[in-house]
Amino acid sequence: MASSNKFSRRSFIRTGSLGIGALALGPALSSFVLATGKAKKKLGIALVGLGSYSGGQLAPALQHTKDCYLAGIVTGTPAKAVDWAKKYNIPQKNIYNYQNFHEIANNPDIDIVYVVLPVSMHKEYTIKAAQAGKHVICEKPMALNAKDCEDMIAACKKANRLLSIGYRLHFEPHNVEIMRLGQQHILGNIKHIDTGNGFTYNGDPNAWRLKKALAGGGGLMDMGIYSIQGTRYTLGQEPVAVKATQQKLRPDFFKEVDETVFWELEFPGGLKTTGKSSYNNDWSYLKVEAEQGNFELGPAFGYGGIEGSVNGNPMKYPQIIQQAAQMDDFAKCVTLNKPSRVPGEEGLKDMKVVDAIYKSLDSGKWERIS
Ligand code: NAD
C-alpha cells in the first residue's frame, strides 16, 4: 500500500481548519495538568508483533506522537529484539516474548498494548493484554469472526480497560470530510455508494495472509474491511442485508482464501450500495452520488496520497501521519477515561458484515446481517 509521511501532524494541525468537531485534536496531553496538580506523562505503548506494519508504519509514527511513545516490544525473534532496542532505545526490561508476555502486567512503563499480529492471534493477545491490566489497540480486521470480537469486547469491559481498533482513517482529514458530507446530508440524501479496495498480491505464497486458519479470509478481510467501513461511515448507518459473489483468476495462488469479492449492501429504507475487495486488482476509491451532486475519494484508503473531490472540486486537506493521530487520540482517551471513536464495537460491526458476506458466498442468496 502507498505510504507518504511527507506531512507531519504538526503541519496538519497548523494548516487544517476543517471545522469538523471530530478532528479537533486539541493540545498535546503532555501540556495538560491533571486534577492532582501533576503534569501527565506520555503514555507507553508496547507493540506486539514486529512485522511490516509495526516496523514500517507504527514505530516511525511513534517518533511523531505527543501523547504516547514506543516504550516496549513483544517479539518471538531475539534478533529483532536486539535491533529494535538499539534503533528505538528500548530498555531490556520492556522487551517481552510470547512466553513471558503475561509479565507485562508488572510493568508500569506500559500503558497500552498494540496487537499487530496475524488475525487469528488478535483475540488471544487482546484478551491477555486486558487481563494484564493494559488498554488495548488491536489491528484490523479485529478477529476471525464477529463472535470472537464480542468475546474481546467483553474481556476488555470485564477488565475495565479501553479497546480500540487500528482504524487510522477516522483520523484522516479527507475521510473525515466524507463522513461529514454523508452523515450530515450536506449534498442531500445519498442515492448510491460504490467503493473498492485491493492490491495485486505477488508476495510470499507461504505468508499467513494466504492461510485461512491464520487470516480468516483473503482480500475481503484484509482490504474489503476498508470499503465496508467507508460505506458505513459515509452513511452513518448499519446495513441490514448483503448479497455477494466472487471471482478467482489465480486459484493456485489463492488456494485457501478469497481473491476478489463483489457485494451489494442493503440499508434500512432500502438504499443499496456496491462494494468490492481484491488481492488481484489495485483499487482504492469511494464514490458517492447524492441528491445535489457527487463526492468521492481516490486514492481513498492508503497511508498517504489521499485525494478527494466534491462536485469535481478538489478537496484541499493535508496528508497527515494517520497512525500518529490515531495513537495520540487513544492515549488521550485513556488519560481522560473516555471511549475511543473507533472502539471494539466498530470492529464488531464490520465483522458482522464480513461474516454475512461469506455466508452469502456459500448460499448464493441475500443474507441478513445481525
Ligand atoms: P507481517 O506478516 O508483516 O507481521 C506479522 C508479525 O507477526 C511478524 O512479526 C511475525 O513474526 C509475527 N508472528 C507471530 N506469530 C506468528 C505466526 N504464528 N505466524 C506468522 N507471523 C507471526 O504482517 P503485517 O502486515 O505487519 O500485519 C499485522 C497486522 O496488522 C494484521 O492484522 C494486518 O491486517 C494489520 N495491518 C494493518 C494495516 C493498517 O493500515 N491498519 C496495515 C498493514 C497491516
> Would you state the cell numbers that stand for residue 20, as one nine-digit string?
469538523
pLDDT for res 132? 98
- Among the listed residues 239, 244, 243, the one whose alpha carbon sits nearest the alpha carbon of residue 270: 239
Sorted by sequence, the CB contacts under 8 Å of residue 140 that are 6+ apart come out as 165, 166, 167, 225, 347, 350
Ligand 1: centre distance to CA 219 (Å) = 15
Q: Kindly give the residue spans of alpha helices, DSSP state H, lying in the chain.
A: 9-15, 52-53, 59-61, 78-88, 122-131, 146-158, 173-183, 212-215, 219, 225-235, 322-336, 344-363
User: How many angstroms from the chain centroid is the CA of residue 299?
Assistant: 17
Sorted by sequence, the CB contacts under 8 Å of residue 338 that are 6+ apart come out as none
Residue 122: pLDDT band by 50, 70, 90 thresholds? very high
Mean pLDDT of 141-169: 98
Atom of ligand 1 nearest to the CA of 214: 19
Q: Which of 40, 140, 243, 332 is catalytic?
A: 140
What percent of the chain has pLDDT above 70? 89
Residue 20: pLDDT band by 50, 70, 90 thresholds? very low
Q: CA end-to-end span of the chain, whole Å?
A: 32
Q: Would the pLDDT of 12 be above 90?
A: no
Sheet (strand 95-96) strand order: 95-96, 68-74, 43-48, 112-115, 135-138, 163-165
Q: Would the pLDDT of 17 be above 80?
A: no
Which pLDDT tens digit goes with each residue over 357-367?
999 999 999 99
Q: Would the pLDDT of 28 be above 70?
A: no
Q: Would the pLDDT of 8 be above 50?
A: no
Residue 216: pLDDT band by 50, 70, 90 thresholds? very high
pLDDT for res 259? 98
User: Residue 47: in which H helix or E strand, if any?
Assistant: strand 43-48
> Full-prediction pTM beyond 0.95?
no
Mean pLDDT of 108-124: 98
**Residues enclosing ligand 1, CB less than 6 A?**
49-54, 76, 116-119, 139-140, 166, 168, 208, 214, 222
pLDDT for res 39? 53
Ligand 1: centre distance to CA 140 (Å) = 10
Q: Which amino acid is at 233?
A: Y
Residue 41: pLDDT band by 50, 70, 90 thresholds? confident
Is 226 an annotated catalytic residue? yes
